[in-house]
Amino acid sequence: KQEVTQIPAALSVPEGENLVLNCSFTDSAIYNLQWFRQDPGKGLTSLLLIQSSQREQTSGRLNASLDKSSGRSTLYIAASQPGDSATYLCAVRSNDYKLSFGAGTTVTVRA
């Protein structure tokens, strides 16, 4: 059974600092990995998807890396802004149809 862990559980940084969010998974036989953003009481917004054959994916200030063999992914957010405050979820798709989610990292960016 795929287990996904996210560290740290919470993070508070001043505006402008770079954010580093970590995700690890136990079974390296994955199809892809998705990073989501979740605002309080809201749905899931997909940020980046990395296929198992890729090493990284970039979108604007966001960069996600994937090391499949070691079961790790990292989400980097450059030059953080107060609007980046949210919970960030990592989800892994293994050799089946479902996504397995981590518990998330709750980010607070202080103005």
Which residue in this structure is represented by tokens 């009481």? 41
Candidate list 65, 74, 101, 106; residue touching other proteins; CB under 8 A = 101
Instruction: Give the list of residues 6+ apart from residue 110 with CB closer than 8 angstroms, or none.
Output: 12, 13, 14, 15, 82
- 71 part of the interface to other proteins, by CB under 8 A: no
At 96, give phi and psi (nearest 5°): -155, -165
Dist CA 61 CA 108 (whole Å) = 17
Q: How far is the CB of 91 from other proteins (least distance, A)?
A: 7
Which one of 13-21, 55-63, 71-79, 87-95 is the stretch in contact with other proteins (CB under 8 A)?
Answer: 87-95
- x/- binding map, residues 23-52, to other proteins, per CB under 8 A? --------xx-x-x----xxxxxx--x-x-
Rg, Å, the chain Cα set:
13
Enumerate binding residues for other proteins (CB under 8 A). Answer: 31-32, 34, 36, 41-46, 49, 51, 89, 91, 93, 96-104
